[in-house]
Structure 1
Amino acid sequence: MSSYTPYFEFNRKKWASLRNHTPLPLTEEELDNLKGINEEISIQEVEEIYLPLTRLINLYVEAYQQLNTATSSFLKNNAKKAPYIIGIAGSVAVGKSTTARLLQTLLSRWDNHRNVGLVTTDGFLYSNEILEEKGMMKRKGFPESYDTQKLINLIGDVKAGKNKVEVPIYSHLTYDILPNEVQTISNPDILIVEGVNVLQVDKENQVFVSDFFDFSLYVDAEIQDIERWYVERFLLLQETAFQSPESYFHRYINLSKENAIKQATQIWEEINLKNLHENILPTKGRANLVLKKGSDHKAENIYLRR
């Protein structure tokens, strides 16, 4: 039987040693602003996990930029620079949004790629009005709830060097797309695309979102830990964001803690767990790097594709 595995495996200590004196361009205050609502991430975590990762990505981007220059020279043209595109996937509540924001900040501190854009696929969900019309509100987050072609077109425009592209904005407060509001991405050196669905293969389309990726990362953890984080986040939001009358989940503010836990667990099991098993976990093996977290949100193992 072959002992071949497609990944190099690193424990935390071995991975941390690959930092190779990469400086820490981040303050405690900046890190606090990047954290998710119930995610504890320390400067030590940044030093031991994310600095080696950004060093690796910097090496990849540098090689990519050199290749583009060589190709342009060979073709004797002055083609616009093509951005390096990174995909970040993983379950709801696993911490991929924090990972994306952290990577965006750290990568923007390198001289050869200061302009780092970030797009989340939430902006490409169909509006609640459309989802309700189609009877898909309980399928929100599943592949069919996204305007995938619109996302593919946008990434294609960025990859082709279009000067400005407009990205729809999603509100986690209203749980819906914000009408007439957009985020503008302008000629990034790197574009990070983050979402549960970015590594999924749509059998109805010949082109996939991941076809545009130069590097992809999957944030992983044990399912029971992700469920616990989801419920903890729900309880924190019940005391904070849900209190706003504008919140889609305002209806839950008067639930007792016991009933709030039951409600969060029900949402998790009926929607997020089902989506995780059917659509998200099967894409893990397509990632270039898997970041496996322990029960305390700290990375325990890193798997880098050979």
Structure 2
Amino acid sequence: MNKGVVENISPFMTFSRAEWAALRESYSMKMDPEEIQQVKGLNDVLNMEEIADIYLPLTRLIHLHADASQELYRSRSIFLKKQEKKVPYIIGIAGSVAVGKSTLARVLRTLLSKWDLHPRVDLVTTDGFLYPNAELERRGIMDKKGFPESFNVAALLRFLEEVKSGKPRVEAPVYSHITYDVKPGEAQVVEQPDIVILEGINVLQPPRHKGADPEEGVSVSDYFDFSIYVDADEEDVFSWYIERFKKLRETAFRNPDSYFRKYADLSDEEAEAFAAGVWNRINHPNLVENIRPTKNRADLILRKGGHHLVNQIKMRKI
């Protein structure tokens, strides 16, 4: 080998925005303006150009993967002489707070549900699997809400196991961003959809290795058929987080039942200072210690620029 040539041993193929947009080919599925407004996050940028250039090719790729996965499952059932069950295709979406995971998840749910082969797409967020605030307080980790230890991972693994085993009806707990807590007695019912999208900051965490519990050798991502990490420079994510907090003063924080009602009347300067404090104390350490290190475990990485639009895509080599 020529010593002057360095072989590219990256597990990913890298695409520019233009290169990725070309992969859409003749796929012309659209979202109307009302649908775009329904799925767009509070301070996200989402328009038809972004959907056409980024999300339509991504949807086409996932469709190809899901179709091939289902065909393999059918063939394996024949080989094993076992009755075929309907098993949902599971997509995991990870990334920092305020990076746009929820918008991506909602866009994918809308676009994927337009395909004839998998019209039923459910979206589940891991927020419902956070321990209730009372339990977080009891454990002394309220200031680590969103860190891996703040989630009931065992319950999340059971949920995924039941979904992936083809159980007809599975329930997931529900979280309220108004009360900032799990809703007691409420559940989201998942009844054998074609695709399940699981969105959460820490869904790509590797398995734990402490103790004798067999579940500690299993990770949430073991149940994924496809996974996506939404990436951006930390300075941009911090800016988006501050702007979102400021906008929430005029929306959710005005709700009398809001956990953050007391922050609704903060000035811009006070809001920025408070949000920056939360970021530096909680979200920044979680990003650096837990979230960002999982990026390269994803099948696909969407990289955003400061304008909140995707400018680079990395796809794992097959």
TM-score by length of 1: 0.98
Q: State the partner residue of 1:59.
A: 64
Q: State the partner residue of 1:119.
A: 124
1:94-243, aligned counterparts within 5 Å? 94-203=99-208, 204=210, 205-243=216-254
Which amino acid in the other structure matches residue 162 of structure 1?
Answer: K
In 2, the alpha carbon distance for the partners of 1:24 and 1:190 equals 18
Cα shift at 1:25: 3.5
In 1, the alpha carbon distance for the partners of 2:237 and 2:40 equals 16
Cα shift at 1:133: 1.3
Question: Secondary structure of 1:67's match?
Answer: helix
Q: Which runs of 5+ in 2 are unaligned?
A: 1-5, 211-215
Which amino acid in the other structure matches residue 23 of structure 1?
Answer: S
Structure 1 runs (4+) deviating above 4 angstroms are none
Which amino acid in the other structure matches residue 199 of structure 1?
Answer: L
In 2, the alpha carbon distance for the partners of 1:288 and 1:144 equals 25
In 1, the alpha carbon distance for the partners of 2:74 and 2:198 equals 24
Cα shift at 1:186: 0.6
**Which region of structure 1 is more displaced relative to structure 2, 88-97 or 63-72?**
63-72
In 2, the alpha carbon distance for the partners of 1:228 and 1:20 equals 35
| Number of corresponding residues | 306
Q: State the partner residue of 1:3.
A: 8
Question: Secondary structure of 1:110's match?
Answer: coil
In 2, the alpha carbon distance for the partners of 1:305 and 1:193 equals 19
In 1, the alpha carbon distance for the partners of 2:286 and 2:133 equals 18
2:267 to 256, 263, 285: 256
In 1, the alpha carbon distance for the partners of 2:100 and 2:119 equals 24
Instruction: Provide the aligned C-alpha RMSD in A.
Output: 0.9
Matched, 1:295 2:300: no
Cα shift at 1:289: 0.2
Contact 2:50–2:309 (8 Å) recurs in 1: yes
Matched, 1:282 2:293: yes
Matched, 1:85 2:90: yes
Q: State the partner residue of 2:258.
A: 247
Which amino acid in the other structure matches residue 14 of structure 2?
Answer: E
Which amino acid in the other structure matches residue 117 of structure 2?
Answer: N
In 1, the alpha carbon distance for the partners of 2:172 and 2:43 equals 27
Deviations 1:229-250 (A, max 9, x none): 0000000001211112211111
Contact 1:25–1:109 (8 Å) recurs in 2: no
1:41-56, aligned counterparts within 5 Å? 41-56=46-61
In 2, the alpha carbon distance for the partners of 1:3 and 1:257 equals 47
In 2, the alpha carbon distance for the partners of 1:44 and 1:254 equals 36
Question: Secondary structure of 1:239's match?
Answer: coil
Q: State the partner residue of 1:37.
A: 42
In 2, the alpha carbon distance for the partners of 1:169 and 1:70 equals 36
TM-score by length of 2: 0.95
Question: Secondary structure of 2:303's match?
Answer: strand
Which amino acid in the other structure matches residue 123 of structure 1?
Answer: G
In 2, the alpha carbon distance for the partners of 1:181 and 1:252 equals 27
Contact 2:74–2:84 (8 Å) recurs in 1: no
Which amino acid in the other structure matches residue 178 of structure 1?
Answer: K
Deviations 1:125-170 (A, max 9, x none): 0001111111111000000000001000001100000001111110
**Which region of structure 1 is more displaced relative to structure 2, 1-10 or 269-278?**
1-10
Which amino acid in the other structure matches residue 26 of structure 2?
Answer: H
Sequence identity percentage: 52
Cα shift at 1:118: 1.1
Which amino acid in the other structure matches residue 230 of structure 2?
Answer: V
Q: State the partner residue of 2:213.
A: none
Contact 1:168–1:182 (8 Å) recurs in 2: yes
Which amino acid in the other structure matches residue 308 of structure 2?
Answer: H
